[in-house]
Amino acid sequence: MIARRLISLSLQSRVLTSSLRVMSSIPPPECLFKEMNIPNRQLFGPGPSTMPQVIGASQAQPLLGHLHPEFVEIMSQCRLGLQYVFKTRNAYTFAVSGTGHAGMEAAILNLAERGETILVAKAGIWGQRAADLGRRLGLKVEVVEVADGEIVPVRALEEAATRVKPALIFVCHGESSTGIVQPLEGLSKIAHDNGGLLLVDTVASLGGAPFDMDQLNVDCVYSATQKVLNGPPGLAPISFSDRAIQKIKNRKERVASFYFDALELGNYWGCDGEMRRYHHTAPISSVYALREALAIIAKKGIDNLIQQHVDNATAMYNQLGEAGLSMFVNKKEDRLPCLHTIKVPEGVDWKAVQSSLFGQGIEVAGGLGATTGKIFRIGTFGQNSEPVKAKEVVNKFIQVVKEQSKL
C-alpha cells in the first residue's frame, strides 16, 4: 500500500514538473548552465580598482538581517570609519545604497528645491552631470566652465555666486575625466556669504588627495567605494553638516525621493539618536566590504595613505617624463594624485595600447566624454599606489606605447 502511494506521488511529481516545463514559454538560457568567466585582472583604470582579498572575502560571510543587532553594529563602525576618512564629526555621516552617482543625486535632491539656483563648477564630465541633474529637478542652473585640463578659478565662482545667489554650489574635487584636483579653500565662505551651501564630489579623490571636511567647512560631501577605498561599487559614502541638515528640515516641500531622503536614511543609519526605522533593505554584503575597506585605511592611517598617493604621483611624473610622455594637466599642483591623465602621442592608436595591456591582464583606460581619444587614464587607487606595483604597471604601459609608436 505504501509502495503504491509512493509510486503515485512520484508520478504526480513528474506530471507537475512536466506541466511546469510546458507552461514556460521562455527556455532557460544556455549560458546559465556554464560557469562565469572572471579573469584575475589588475584594474589600473579610473575605477573600479583592484580589490584586496580580505575585502572580497568579507562578502562571502553569512547574511544578516538589515536590522539585526550585529549588522547595526557593523553599520555604526562604518559611520565612524567614514567620519575618519572625511575628517568630520558630522552626525549625519553614512552610506547611500547605490554607486557614487547615487551620492550626487541624494545630495542635490535634498539640498536644493525646485526654482532655486545651483552654481556648478564645470571642469569635466561630472560638472556636466550635476548641471544636467539640476535641470531635471527644476533648478535654475548657472555654470562656470573651463577648458579640459584646467581648474575653475575661485574668483570666477565668487563673481558668479555674488550675481546669482545660489542655494547650492557644486564642485568636483577630483575630476576623473580630465585628471584635475580642484582647490576648495575659500569656497564655503563664498557659498555661505551668498546664502547657499557647498557640495563637494570626492568620488575619485577621497583618500588619494588632501581633504578635510570640517576644516574646509564643507556642507555636504559624497564619494564612492570603488576608487581609493578599493571596495566593490555599490555604496556612496556621504556626510551632511548641521547647516545642511537644517536646510533639509526647513524645506518648503518634502524631498521628492523617499529612497534618497537624507533624514530617513540618517535614521536608518543611527544618525539622529532615535529608534531606527525600516527604510530599505541595505546591501548587507556591500556594507561588510565597506567596513573592511575602512579598517584597512584606519590601520594604515588616512594621512599616510594620502601621502603615499602624492609621493607615488611625483615618481610617476618623472617616470613618464623620462619616457618622453606628457601629462594632460600642465601644472603639477592641479593634478589629481591618484588618477593620472597622459596625452596620447601623435600617431599612437590609444585603443591598440589599451587592448595590448588588456591582453597582459592590466586595465588602463582612455579618455571620457570630451577627452576620448586625447588621453590615457591610469588610476593608482589605494593599494595600486604601492610604489613597486605602480612602477611596474607604468613601465609596461610605456613599453606598449613605444611599440605602438614604431608601427
264 and 314, same domain (yes or no):
no
Structure-block grid coordinates of residue 111:
539640498
Same domain, 259 and 365: no
Helix (H, G, I), strand (E, B) or coil at 153: coil
CATH code where residue 389 lies: 3.90.1150.10
Specify the number of domains making up the chain.
2
Q: Which domain holds residue 192?
A: 53-299
**21 occurs within a structural domain:** no
276 assigned to a ligand binding site? no
Q: Quick one: 314 and 366 in the same domain?
A: yes
182 domain-assigned: yes
Task: Give, rounded to a whole angstrom, the gap between the first and last alpha carbons of the chain.
Answer: 83
Give a yes or no: residue 7 inside a domain: no
Whose CA is closest to 129, among 308, 378, 369?
369
Q: Rounded to the nearest 5°, which phi and psi values hold at 197?
A: -120, 160
Do 269 and 387 share a domain, yes or no? no
Instruction: List pLDDT tens digits, range 136-153.
Output: 999 999 999 999 999 999
* Residue 245 · residue 220 · CB < 8 Å: no
Q: Across residues 284-311, what is the average pLDDT?
A: 98
> Are residues 271 and 316 part of one domain?
no
Question: Does 308 fall in a domain?
Answer: yes
Residue 13 confidence class, pLDDT cut points 50, 70, 90? low
pLDDT for residue 406: 73
pLDDT, one tens digit per residue, over 64-119 is 999 999 999 999 999 999 999 999 999 999 999 999 999 999 999 999 999 999 99
244 and 356 co-located in one domain = no
- Is 221's pLDDT higher than 60? yes
- Residue 240 in any domain: the answer is yes
SS3 for 37? coil
| Residues 223-237, mean pLDDT to the nearest whole number | 98
Q: For residues 268-285, b (16+ Cβ closer than 10 Å) or e, as one string?
A: bbbbeeeeeeebeebbbb
pLDDT tens digits, 281-297: 999 999 999 999 999 99
Q: What pTM value is reported for the model?
A: 0.93
Which has the minimum average pLDDT: 16-25, 81-90, 239-248, 352-361? 16-25
Statement: residue 4 has pLDDT above 70: no
We report the CATH number of the domain holding residue 201 as 3.40.640.10
* pLDDT of the residue at 10: 53
Say how far apart CA 229 and CA 364 lie, in whole Å.
Answer: 19
